[in-house]
Amino acid sequence: MVRKSLVVFAICTSVALAISLATAGDIPSGANLSASAIVDRNVAARGGLQAWRAVQTMSMEGKLGAGGNQRATLPVRPQGPTPSLNEIPQRPVNETQLPFVMELKRPRKMRVELVFKGQTAIQVFDGANGWKLRPFLNRRAVEPYTEQEMKSAAMQADLDGPLVDYAAKGTQVELDGVEKVEDRDTYKVKLTMKNGQSIHVWIDAQSFLETKIEGQPRRLDGEYHPVEVYYRDYRPVNGLQIPYVLETKVLPLAQKSPGVRNTPVPVEKIVIEKVAVNPILDGSLFSKPADGVVQKTK
């Protein structure tokens, strides 16, 4: 549960990648565009460089889908009397909708509160270090991020995403071709960060808004699976366009041997219900409490 929520939230911080759908309609698509030209049009479509530089904080509220499992149960040969169907535990099909609040502040600070079983879990990254509180696991003391959690947090972009001011951030961009994403032409752009890690972003060839982004690989059954996050349902907020639905898809691996079934993982959805641009956020929200007592934001 915690590993899943961290991955989703790390991915969720890049929600600020999509801006100004209305202005995007005035930007013509074109062939033979360079990667830098595509990114420039993306930033213009999202509201412009100066508009994003003016955004210092952002908060989001919504619900995170967790716990649903529509994968088929692998057949197991019974060792004793054949049990009835009522005796076989069934996986829950529908996701549980968990309320969350996410608060972002430059540079690269993030705080997430997630309500689970009537208790509030908290995850905080201050741009350099991370800590968490997980009362639903009967862990009442503040704990530091694990090594893997720190790697995921270090990969997250600032609230304006990895494309705005990419050169100043030490990122290199290159075009990896044009691909169809849900029957629409998109530019597949590769971003190589200054630490050497790379991700791909797919930009719509008409609107120049992000269609999807490559997420952190997910470990399932002992192997890492590629992850993609789709942006949907753009809505205006203070002149900006924000995707209110993010869908995470864990992709199957290539078939290694005949007869081995690669069961699909259901889509995970984040639905954003409220967005605030430049709210006042106290710096203490992103600090580890010295006494171990966590103050809620609400």
Angle at 33 between CA 31 and CA 34, to 5 degrees: 155
Give 10-residue mean pLDDT values along the chain (298 residues).
41 38 39 91 89 94 76 43 44 73 94 90 92 83 87 81 92 96 96 92 94 88 89 84 90 68 79 96 86 48
Q: Is 216 left (phi over 0), alpha (psi -120 to 50) or beta?
A: beta
* 277 φ/ψ angles, rounded to the nearest 5 degrees: -105, 130
Query: What is the distance between the alpha carbons of residues 100 and 40, in angstroms, rounded to a whole number?
Result: 33
DSSP symbol at 2? H
Confidence (pLDDT) at 140: 76
Question: Kind of pairing, strands 109-116 and 96-105?
Answer: antiparallel
Close Cβ partners of 41 (under 8 Å, ≥ 6 residues apart): 27, 33, 208
Confidence (pLDDT) at 260: 54
* CA 296, 150, 162, 190 torsion-angle sign: negative
DSSP symbol at 288? -
Confidence (pLDDT) at 106: 93
C-beta of residue 160 within 8 angstroms of C-beta of residue 191: no
Query: What is the distance between the alpha carbons of residues 163 and 36, in angstroms, rounded to a whole number?
Result: 10
Confidence (pLDDT) at 234: 81
- Residue whose C-alpha is closest to residue 241's, from 34, 16, 40: 16
Confidence (pLDDT) at 137: 78
C-beta of residue 58 within 8 angstroms of C-beta of residue 277: yes
Query: What is the distance between the alpha carbons of residues 76 and 221, in angstroms, rounded to a whole number?
Result: 17
Confidence (pLDDT) at 3: 40
C-beta of residue 162 within 8 angstroms of C-beta of residue 199: yes
- Residue whose C-alpha is closest to residue 210's, from 41, 8, 6: 41
C-beta neighbour count of 63 within 10 angstroms:
17
